[in-house]
Protein backbone atom coordinates (compact mmCIF):
# COMPACT_ATOMS: atom_id res chain seq x y z
CA UNK A 1 0.00 0.00 0.00
CA UNK A 2 1.38 3.41 -0.95
CA UNK A 3 1.56 6.12 1.70
CA UNK A 4 3.34 9.49 1.96
CA UNK A 5 6.14 7.84 3.96
CA UNK A 6 6.29 4.84 1.59
CA UNK A 7 5.26 5.96 -1.90
CA UNK A 8 6.51 2.81 -3.62
CA UNK A 9 4.39 0.36 -1.63
CA UNK A 10 7.34 -1.58 -0.23
CA UNK A 11 6.42 -3.83 2.68
CA UNK A 12 9.83 -4.45 4.26
CA UNK A 13 12.00 -1.35 3.82
CA UNK A 14 11.67 0.91 6.85
CA UNK A 15 9.65 -1.67 8.73
CA UNK A 16 10.34 -4.53 11.10
CA UNK A 17 10.42 -7.53 8.78
CA UNK A 18 10.55 -11.06 10.18
CA UNK A 19 13.05 -13.49 8.73
CA UNK A 20 11.39 -15.70 6.11
CA UNK A 21 11.23 -19.39 6.99
CA UNK A 22 12.23 -20.50 3.48
CA UNK A 23 13.19 -19.06 0.09
CA UNK A 24 9.68 -19.80 -1.19
CA UNK A 25 8.18 -17.69 1.61
CA UNK A 26 10.63 -14.81 1.17
CA UNK A 27 9.19 -11.68 -0.43
CA UNK A 28 11.50 -10.09 -2.99
CA UNK A 29 10.56 -6.52 -3.81
CA UNK A 30 11.45 -4.21 -6.64
CA UNK A 31 11.40 -0.50 -7.29
CA UNK A 32 11.40 1.45 -10.56
CA UNK A 33 14.82 1.89 -12.12
CA UNK A 34 15.78 5.54 -11.61
CA UNK A 35 17.66 5.46 -14.93
CA UNK A 36 15.56 3.43 -17.38
CA UNK A 37 17.07 3.38 -20.83
CA UNK A 38 20.60 3.80 -19.44
CA UNK A 39 22.86 0.77 -19.80
CA UNK A 40 24.63 0.17 -16.49
CA UNK A 41 25.59 -2.70 -14.23
CA UNK A 42 24.47 -3.19 -10.63
CA UNK A 43 26.37 -5.66 -8.44
CA UNK A 44 25.43 -7.39 -5.21
CA UNK A 45 28.07 -9.35 -3.33
CA UNK A 46 27.18 -11.73 -0.51
CA UNK A 47 30.47 -13.07 0.90
CA UNK A 48 28.79 -14.91 3.79
CA UNK A 49 25.90 -16.74 2.10
CA UNK A 50 24.83 -19.91 3.91
CA UNK A 51 22.54 -22.83 3.21
CA UNK A 52 22.34 -26.46 4.29
CA UNK A 53 23.42 -29.65 2.59
CA UNK A 54 20.16 -31.40 1.66
CA UNK A 55 21.62 -34.81 2.59
CA UNK A 56 23.66 -34.25 5.75
CA UNK A 57 22.10 -31.04 7.07
CA UNK A 58 25.58 -29.59 7.51
CA UNK A 59 26.05 -25.88 6.73
CA UNK A 60 27.43 -24.81 3.38
CA UNK A 61 29.03 -21.43 2.75
CA UNK A 62 29.42 -19.42 -0.43
CA UNK A 63 30.56 -16.09 -1.77
CA UNK A 64 27.88 -14.95 -4.23
CA UNK A 65 28.31 -12.22 -6.82
CA UNK A 66 25.24 -11.05 -8.75
CA UNK A 67 25.64 -8.65 -11.66
CA UNK A 68 22.70 -7.33 -13.61
CA UNK A 69 21.83 -4.66 -16.13
CA UNK A 70 18.50 -3.21 -15.00
CA UNK A 71 15.69 -2.54 -17.42
CA UNK A 72 12.52 -1.10 -15.80
CA UNK A 73 13.13 -2.44 -12.28
CA UNK A 74 15.85 -2.75 -9.63
CA UNK A 75 15.78 -5.08 -6.66
CA UNK A 76 15.15 -3.55 -3.25
CA UNK A 77 18.24 -4.51 -1.25
CA UNK A 78 16.63 -5.19 2.15
CA UNK A 79 14.29 -7.72 0.58
CA UNK A 80 17.29 -9.33 -1.16
CA UNK A 81 19.14 -9.62 2.17
CA UNK A 82 16.10 -11.23 3.78
CA UNK A 83 15.80 -13.59 0.80
CA UNK A 84 19.45 -14.62 1.19
CA UNK A 85 18.91 -15.16 4.92
CA UNK A 86 15.99 -17.50 4.16
CA UNK A 87 18.49 -20.05 2.81
CA UNK A 88 20.15 -20.52 6.23
CA UNK A 89 17.83 -23.40 7.12
CA UNK A 90 17.12 -24.48 3.56
CA UNK A 91 18.57 -27.71 2.23
CA UNK A 92 19.67 -27.57 -1.41
CA UNK A 93 22.68 -28.42 -3.50
CA UNK A 94 25.03 -25.63 -4.52
CA UNK A 95 23.84 -25.69 -8.11
CA UNK A 96 20.20 -25.40 -7.06
CA UNK A 97 20.80 -22.47 -4.69
CA UNK A 98 22.86 -20.50 -7.19
CA UNK A 99 20.68 -21.00 -10.26
CA UNK A 100 17.39 -20.62 -8.32
CA UNK A 101 18.49 -17.23 -6.99
CA UNK A 102 19.41 -16.07 -10.48
CA UNK A 103 16.13 -17.26 -11.99
CA UNK A 104 14.03 -15.72 -9.21
CA UNK A 105 15.69 -12.36 -9.79
CA UNK A 106 15.13 -12.63 -13.54
CA UNK A 107 11.45 -13.44 -12.96
CA UNK A 108 11.09 -10.43 -10.65
CA UNK A 109 13.12 -7.85 -12.54
CA UNK A 110 13.17 -8.87 -16.23
CA UNK A 111 16.66 -7.32 -16.49
CA UNK A 112 18.46 -6.65 -19.74
CA UNK A 113 21.06 -9.15 -18.50
CA UNK A 114 21.96 -11.01 -15.30
CA UNK A 115 24.70 -13.33 -14.15
CA UNK A 116 25.32 -15.00 -10.82
CA UNK A 117 28.56 -16.54 -9.62
CA UNK A 118 28.49 -18.88 -6.64
CA UNK A 119 31.89 -19.63 -5.17
CA UNK A 120 31.16 -22.41 -2.69
CA UNK A 121 33.64 -23.39 -0.03
CA UNK A 122 34.82 -27.02 -0.07
CA UNK A 123 32.47 -29.81 0.87
CA UNK A 124 34.24 -33.15 1.19
CA UNK A 125 37.46 -31.45 0.08
CA UNK A 126 36.04 -30.23 -3.24
CA UNK A 127 35.04 -26.61 -3.84
CA UNK A 128 32.10 -26.22 -6.21
CA UNK A 129 31.77 -23.02 -8.24
CA UNK A 130 28.48 -22.43 -10.05
CA UNK A 131 27.93 -19.81 -12.76
CA UNK A 132 24.72 -18.91 -14.61
CA UNK A 133 23.70 -16.04 -16.84
CA UNK A 134 20.81 -15.08 -19.05
CA UNK A 135 22.91 -14.82 -22.22
CA UNK A 136 25.54 -12.58 -23.72
CA UNK A 137 26.03 -9.27 -21.96
CA UNK A 138 24.63 -6.32 -23.92
CA UNK A 139 27.14 -4.57 -26.16
CA UNK A 140 28.76 -1.68 -24.36
CA UNK A 141 28.02 -2.94 -20.83
CA UNK A 142 31.07 -2.77 -18.58
CA UNK A 143 31.21 -6.12 -16.78
CA UNK A 144 34.18 -6.26 -14.39
CA UNK A 145 35.60 -9.53 -13.15
CA UNK A 146 33.86 -10.85 -10.05
CA UNK A 147 36.99 -10.28 -7.96
CA UNK A 148 36.71 -13.64 -6.23
CA UNK A 149 39.76 -15.89 -6.41
CA UNK A 150 39.32 -19.58 -7.13
CA UNK A 151 39.81 -21.79 -4.09
CA UNK A 152 43.48 -22.34 -3.28
CA UNK A 153 43.33 -24.05 0.08
CA UNK A 154 46.48 -23.42 2.05
CA UNK A 155 48.78 -23.49 -0.98
Tell me which residues are annotated as active site: 53, 60
Cα Rg for the chain, rounded, in angstroms?
A: 16
> How far is residue 46's CA from residue 65's CA, in Å, rounded to a whole number?
6
Query: How far is C-alpha 58 from the chain's CA centre?
Result: 22
Burial of residue 69 (number of CB atoms within 10 Å: 0-12, 13-18, 19+): buried
> How far is residue 60's CA from residue 76's CA, in Å, rounded to a whole number?
25
Amino acid sequence: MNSPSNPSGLTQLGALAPLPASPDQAVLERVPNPHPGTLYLSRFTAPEFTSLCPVTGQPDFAHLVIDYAPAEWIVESKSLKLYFTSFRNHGAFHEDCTVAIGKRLVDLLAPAWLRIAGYWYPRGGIPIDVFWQTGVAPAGLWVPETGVQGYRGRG
